[in-house]
Amino acid sequence: MAFGRLERTKGSEPMSDINVTPLVDVMLVLVVIFIITAPLLASSIRLDLPHTDAAKPGDPPKFVTVVVDKAGQAYFNDKPVAQPELAAALQEAAKANPETEVQLRADQGVPYGRVVEVMGAAQKAGLNRIGFVAEAPNPAAAPVPAAAASR
C-alpha cells in the first residue's frame, strides 16, 4: 500500500559556480598598486655616468626679438639697428645657438616687403625658427558687424 509517493525529491544541489567577485577585487587592487609603483621602479636605476666637456645640460630655448615699427625702422632686442647691423646681429645669434628663435613683431602698417626683408636676413643668418607676435583682439572693443549696425 502506498500512502504517498515512493519517489524522494532531491534536496537543493550544491552550488558549482565560483564566486569571482573577491577575485576581481583583489586583481583590481593589484593593478592599481602596479600602476602607482611602476614609474618609481623605472627611475630607481642608479648609474655612475662618465664625465666629458662635450656634454652640456639642456639650455632653455633662446630667442631674440626683432621689431619693425611703422616707419620701417628695425630694432634688435629693443635697440635700433640698420639693415646691415641687423644681419650681423642675427648671424652672431645664430653662431651662439643655431636653434635660437626669432620673435618678429611688426606694426600692421609696415609694408609686407619690409617684413620679408627681415625674415630673409634671419634665414640667411641660419635662423629658421621665426615666430610672429600678435596681440589677441579685445572682446570689448570688437567691431560691430555691418548687418547689425544697419538695424
Q: Give me the residue label for grid cell 639650455.
A: 59
pLDDT, tens digit, 9 for 90 and up, residues 63-82: 899 999 888 899 998 889 99
Question: What pLDDT is attached to residue 11?
Answer: 75
Residue 144's pLDDT band, with cuts at 50, 70 and 90, is low
Distance CA(127)–CA(123), nearest Å, equals 5
Question: What pLDDT is attached to residue 146?
Answer: 55
pLDDT, tens digit, 9 for 90 and up, residues 36-63: 888 776 655 565 666 766 656 665 558 8
- The answer to whether the Cα torsion of 79, 85, 91, 92 is positive or negative is negative
pLDDT, tens digit, 9 for 90 and up, residues 111-132: 999 999 999 999 999 999 998 8
Question: What pLDDT is attached to residue 56?
Answer: 62
Distance CA(64)–CA(130), nearest Å, equals 10
**How many CB atoms are closer than 10 A to CB 47?**
5
Here the cell at position 60 is 632653455
* Torsion angle in degrees (nearest 10) through CA of 100, 106, 112, 117: -40
Higher-scoring residue by pLDDT: 35, 40: 35
Is-above-0.75 flag for pTM? Answer: no
pLDDT, tens digit, 9 for 90 and up, residues 79-112: 899 999 999 999 999 998 888 899 999 888 889 9
